[in-house]
Structure 1
Amino acid sequence: MADPSSYRPKPGQIPDSPGVYKFRDEHRRVIYVGKAKSLRQRLASYFQDLTNLHPRTRTMVTTAASVEWTVVSTEVEALQLEYSWIKEFDPRFNVKYRDDKSYPYLAVTMNEEFPRVQVMRGHKRKGVRYFGPYGHAWAIRDTVDLLLRVFPVRTCSAGVFKNAARTGRPCLLGYIGKCSAPCVGRVTAEEHRELAEEFSDFMAGRTGTYIRRLEQRMTDAAEEMEYERAARLRDDIEALKKAMEKNAVVLADATDADLMAVAEDELEAAVQIFHVRGGRVRGQRGWVTDKVEAVTTGDLVEHALQQLYGEETGDTVPKEVLVPALPDLVEPVQEWLAARRGSNVSLRIPQRGDKKALMETVQRNALQALALHKTKRASDLTTRSRALEEIAEALVLDSAPLRIECYDISHLQGDDVVASMVVFEDGLQRKGEYRRFQIKGFAGQDDVRSMHEVITRRFRRYLAEKERTGEWTDGESEGAGDGEHSFTEEDGRPKRFAYPPQLVVVDGGRPQVAAARRALDELGIDDIAVCGLAKRLEEVWLPHDDDPVVLPRSSEGLYLLQRVRDEAHRFAITYQRAKRAKRFKASPLDEVPGLGETRKQALIKHFGSVKKLRSATIDQICEIPGIGRKTAEAIAVALAQAAPAAPAVNTATGEIMEDGEPGTTPDSPEESVSAGASYERRGQET
């Protein structure tokens, strides 16, 4: 525990002006970001008698080892910089809202030639119009099904669209009139885009004008005795009204507003938001957070506004935001919101009438969300804490291992040898810090040598960074290279994996543990614990111990180690399969009739590469079991006709890689989504 007086700035050093400040721990990791109208007054409040501080503030200042600040011109700039730094550094002591579920949106992809209506989750994309969020995906599909009768916009995937264009036959929706079938040319791209814009306008709340237009067209058709067209228009109007009825009118004056309510106790807070457009509730979402700092309701509202509108621009920021309490500095927040919208935004507390009544409904939702979250979270927090304590006790550690790194080796009969590194902090996955390694040289001959190389490579860079900067560092920078991330001295952002773990777990038994420990000893690292988890009997092996540590099957500590090990295995085997698929993709051997995967792998295994196979004689090819002379001749012809393959390129750096060069790439979002999935062994994969 650090003494705040050891890093307290000298008197007169801190400017009396607006700015943003960062507290860093002993490893230079940013643990808290804040802003202030007066940096001098705000920072002075942290360096008073510890007994006068809030318990969580006291924990923060004793965890920190230094404080930095940046002066800005206005309070609005301070608000924007604070938001940017919180997004960049993800400080552990800041308020961090977590969605209590993943909310679906109704999206119209206006950035495509033929816009598509679909359900979307996750980050918002440029050029796509979003409506929602909705409570359930089926609510979106019900709404879209009603509206497609009037606005027959494309809803099919890119593959279905291309297939229909190729065959000249539309899908079922095209036949039943719920798609205008632009894939087969029934409408032009301009006509289809106009339909998509009308659909978007209707979803945005401009319903009355469109319905009145349809009613006029229905009347005109009836007067002209075109009764069939009038009947279709009548049915269209009914479908639109039915879709509108799904969102009840809550504000009679057709207000566009977001209503936010907060329910909190000393430890946690829940935020609920209702999105009202055209007087109707168009969407709802909720967040929960741990109150890891001393914050007021106004502070919670300010942080929620930052998260809600930090990435939004234009009409997605409403004209009016109703909140239960105002931030301490209302004007800068309003200016910030107005800048994002492009026009004035009103931030206020409702006092009477329909808006206050609706705010009470939002408040009840927030109270229920907090109660439900606490019910789910209590056992989870207790279990994680108990698991870490059991691991520390079983491995005789001085304290619970808050950061655990696990390594696994994967290959197919010695080929495409790769390794994975997964990170768990406080018992939870830290997917953004996963790493993948390619094993080079002779190390792939066995798992023990491979494990020694991976541990050496990871912690050699750790020591190099420590020596380079003269201090422990950590950051959130992106990059790639020999298993590590780049360092940018200009902006001072340190490498991601310079932050040391308290425990290294390897997938394997005594030999793998000994290799990992030997690698650390050779580097002079003696303050990081090492253990291994053997799959056979789920035994925990420690260096220099002849017998394993056997944890009870019901142990939460063993369960956590199993989760860490299984996640490392999943991550490694996914990468190994991707490498193998890439190696065999577009191979000249694919052109040989009757040559299956098994015999192709046997050829590559025997000769080592397609290049060496190309230089082999037909007699040498016939030596491979299962390869006859006719097949060997076909292989020789196919290889002779094929052009040499292009050199491999490191996608992260753009550099050409020679054989065995460990150019690694960070985990993709698609792989991260599947984290935690069960794994399976196929053939000789390990």
Structure 2
Amino acid sequence: MIARQLKALPDKPGVYLWKNAAGAILYVGKAKTLRSRVPSYFGPDAESTPERSALVRQIADLETIIVPNEAQALLLENNLIKEHKPRFNIRLTDDKSYPRVAVTVTEPFPRVLVVRRVNIPGARYFGPYTDVATLRQTLKIIRRIFTVRSCHWDLPHDAPNRPCLDYHIERCRAPCVGYQSEADYRRMIDDVLLFLEGKTVDVRTRLRERMHEASQRLDFERAAQLRDALKWLDQLEQPQTVELVGGGDADAIGLARDGDDACGVVLRVRAGRLIARDHRFLENVEHEAEGAVLAAFLMRCYLPLEARARHALLPFAPDDLDALQQVAPDSDWHVPQRGTFAKLAQLADQNARHLLDSLKIESFDIDERAADPVFALGRDLGLAAVPRSFVCIDISTNQGRDTVGSLVWFEAGRPKKAEYRRFRIRGAPQDDFAAVHEVVTRYLSRRISEAKPLPDLVVIDGGKGQLGAAGDAARALGQEKLPIVSLAKQEEEVFLPGRSDPLRLSRRSPSLKLLQRARDEAHRFAVSYSRKRRAQRTITSELLAIPGVGPNRRRVLLERFGSLAGVKTATPAEIAALPGFSTTLAERILERLNLRP
């Protein structure tokens, strides 16, 4: 059946829907030409990724929809994905819980509301606000500067007999009982809309004009209220975070991805000022191209946003850029290479990376609570015993000098710092494999001689070479049955003895996250020790190079002043007061130290 459908495909743009035997939609895609794109799923690349392989195995039916052009295909694909949420498409996290600010501009006396669904006819929406703190701050400012009514009366048809408390505390001018005209209230709502769009300069100008008008009418109470609103706006004005060339509006879009997850960010710049940040998380992107992920974020997250700027700054060109330009002809898409725009695009990327890292940390904590990562680690590595205790070893060097090794101990998935060990490498300092061999040999020999239990697992930071060196050291001590694995940083691959291909764990796997946590802790411990060794060597060499200062006097100086910097700031009298020091020697020490750059 599929074969017959493939032969009948037209050479036209359109959308295709892969379905399983039950009729459920598995994947929605678009094509510039259906005849060329759809059969490629059964070509040589059908097994290129695990997801593609799983999709092809479940395909039982095909549905195609022809459209006039590629831009229409892009729009239809986006609508169908939102409607059916196919399993194999890039997924967005659910945005139903993200609140928005709605201004009911079609009402005679509009209200400013917080809503979670776009279902008020004719309303202007701002958001969604993924940061609730930003939403609260925005509402607080609106209610402090503008006298927007908070009641739910259907004005002017349905109204109370007297003003509410908001009128008496000057938070509302009581349009409900006729104290404020519809025209005056509407001018205030126009200011609210400008404020929500980030055009605070225009708001200030309008408020100042109305303040002068009130003063000329001798309405000093109203003029005072507008003056206070201007003061609040002045307090809101911060130094320009991002200064655009010549000022203006722009949206900087950033993207970060890690494994199966991605984060897209939109930095909103209005009148040369960074005023807001929006972001969304995406899933199921591990085997998608960068351009496809960015295109999905732009179509499903950026284009639906209210009040987009004309200039959109992109980190790189997305897939289907020509179609995007047809879908959104009012947007100018740029990939800046230098200057302020490029810095702004980099800032958006940095925000995306920060948010994605935060998501990873949160998901790590959630996974730890949801499932015991220690048992998962034993299962994934195929160990005979659960690795309730394991160690991780890392080597750190500074251009071949101050080479050290570190060993951290994890018990029940958590660090046990009392068992941390560090090693000063005695052998070849520039041979990483020899350094791993030395650390494993010294550590296991010490544990065996002291009759202390060995860990259930040894993890090495490195690849096949480091794993082989550690295995040789263990076998030389008769510990060939001790489980040893290595974790390579670049692709986060786990190498096991006797296996030529690495083990690739899911980026969300509790096992991988536990190994990464141990690896990062071992690296931190090794780097801190290497830096300490370098600092000690530097201090020792500078002091011992001074005639008359030997190891004993160097020790006395450091014990008294704490560091080389402390010695440099001491006076000759303070140094001469130390046992074994004279005024002449003190002056020589300070002269030699202060001459050094």
TM-score interval, normalised by the smaller of the two chains: 0.5 to 0.7
CA distance in 2, matches of 1:118, 1:172: 19
Instruction: Give secondary structure in 2 for the equivalent of 1:316.
Output: coil
Q: Is contact 2:93-2:283 (8 Å) kept? A: no
* Correspondence 1:13 to 2:34: no
Which string of whole-angstrom CA distances, capped at 9 and with x for unpartnered residues, describes residues 43-68 of structure 1? 22210246752221111111221222
1:279 matched to 2:265? The reply is: no
Per the TM alignment, residue 366 of structure 1 is displaced from its structure 2 partner at its CA by 1.3
1:46/1:61 contact within 8 Å kept: yes
2:159 match: secondary structure = helix
For residue 363 of structure 1, report the CA deviation from its aligned partner.
1.3
Report SS of the residue matched to 2:319. coil
One-letter identity of the residue aligned with 1:285: D
Matched residue type, 2:344: L
SS at match of 2:91: coil
Given candidates 48, 56, 63, the residue that maps to 2:51 is 56
> Distance in 1 between the 2:2 and 2:301 partners?
35
Q: Partners in 2 of 1:135 and 1:11 — Cα distance?
A: 43
8 A Cα contact 1:8 1:47, kept in partner: no
Q: 1:98 aligns with which of 76, 93, 98?
A: 93
* Among candidates 374, 381, 389, match of residue 360 of structure 2: 374
Distance in 1, Cα, partners of 2:264 & 2:212: 48
The aligned counterpart of 1:119 is 114
Deviations 1:348-380 (A, max 9, x none): 212222222222222122112222222333576
2:312 paired residue number: 321
Bigger relative contact order (CA 8 A; separation at least 6):
1
Letter in 2 for 1:291: N
Distance 2:247 2:156 in 1: 41
Task: Give distance in 1, aligned partners of 2:208 and 2:366.
Answer: 56
Q: Residue 383 and residue 249 in structure 1: after superposition, are their counterparts in 2 closer, same or farther (change >3 A)?
A: closer
**Does the CA contact (< 8 Å) of 1:23 and 1:30 recur in 2?**
yes
- Report if aligned partners of 1:257, 1:319 keep a CA contact under 8 Å in 2: yes
The two structures have a TM-score, normalised by structure 1, of 0.49
Q: Find the residue that maps to 2:77 and give its secondary structure.
A: helix
Opposite residue 346 of structure 2, the aligned amino acid is: E
The 8 Å contact of residues 261 and 286 in structure 2, kept in 1 or not, is answered as no
Tell me whether 1:333 sits opposite 2:324 in the alignment. Answer: yes
SS in 1 for 2:61: strand
Give the secondary structure class of the aligned counterpart of 1:107.
strand
Secondary structure of the corresponding residue to residue 183 of structure 1: helix
Measured in 2, the distance between the counterparts of 1:227 and 1:11 equals 78
Deviations 1:495-548 (A, max 9, x none): xxxxxxxxxxxxxxxxxxxxxxxxxxxxxxxxxxxxxxxxxxxxxxxxxxxxxx
Give, in whole Å, the separation in 1 of the partners of 2:251 and 2:188. Answer: 28
Instruction: State the AA in 1 paired with 2:343.
Output: A
Question: Gapped runs of 5+ residues in structure 1?
Answer: 1-5, 339-343, 391-686
Number of positions where the alignment pairs a residue of Structure 1 with one of Structure 2: 375
Mapped pair 1:354 → 2:340: yes
Letter paired with 2:281: V
Alignment of 1:593-608 (within 5 A): none
Task: Tell me how far apart the structure 2 counterparts of residues 164 and 12 of structure 1 sit (CA, whole Å).
Answer: 65
Q: 2:262 aligns with which of 243, 247, 269?
A: 269
Which residue number in structure 2 is paired with residue 502 of structure 1?
Answer: none
Instruction: Tell me which amino acid in the other structure corresponds to 1:319.
Output: R
Corresponding residue to 1:196 among 189, 203, 211: 189
> Would you say 1:365 and 2:351 are equivalent positions?
yes
1:257 pairs with 2:222 = no
Q: CA deviation at 1:268?
A: 2.0
Q: Does 1:289 align with 2:285?
A: no
CA shift, 1:107, in A, is 2.6
Q: Distance in 1 between matches of 2:245 and 2:108?
A: 38
Q: How far has the Cα of 1:383 moved from its partner?
A: 8.2
The answer to whether the Cα contact below 8 Å between 2:15 and 2:65 also exists between their aligned partners in 1 is yes
| One-letter identity of the residue aligned with 2:186 | R
Deviations 1:380-439 (A, max 9, x none): 6798899xxx9xxxxxxxxxxxxxxxxxxxxxxxxxxxxxxxxxxxxxxxxxxxxxxxxx
TM-superposed CA distance for 1:95, in Å, is 0.5
- Please report how far the alpha carbon of residue 75 of structure 1 lies from its aligned counterpart in structure 2 after TM superposition: 0.5
CA contact (8 A) 1:164 1:184 kept: no
Q: How far apart are the structure 2 equivalents of 1:209 and 1:125?
A: 27
- 1:165 matched residue in structure 2: 159
2:41 aligns to what? 46
**Secondary structure, in 3 states, of the residue corresponding to 1:165?**
coil
Kindly name which structure, 1 or 2, has the bigger radius of gyration based on alpha carbons: 2
Rounded to whole Å, the distance in 2 between the matches of 1:282 and 1:180 is 29
Q: Give the counterpart letter for 2:277 in structure 1.
A: Q
- Distance of 1:164 and 1:170 partners within structure 2: 13
Which runs of 5 or more residues in structure 2 are unaligned? 377-597
Q: 5 Å matches for 1:77-92?
A: 77-92=72-87
CA RMSD of aligned residues (A): 3.8
Shift of 1:24: 0.2
Q: Which amino acid aligns with 1:110?
A: V
Which one of 215, 230, 238 corresponds to residue 237 of structure 1? Answer: 230
Change in 2 beyond 3 A, CA 1:304/1:241: same
TM-score, normalised via structure 2 length: 0.55
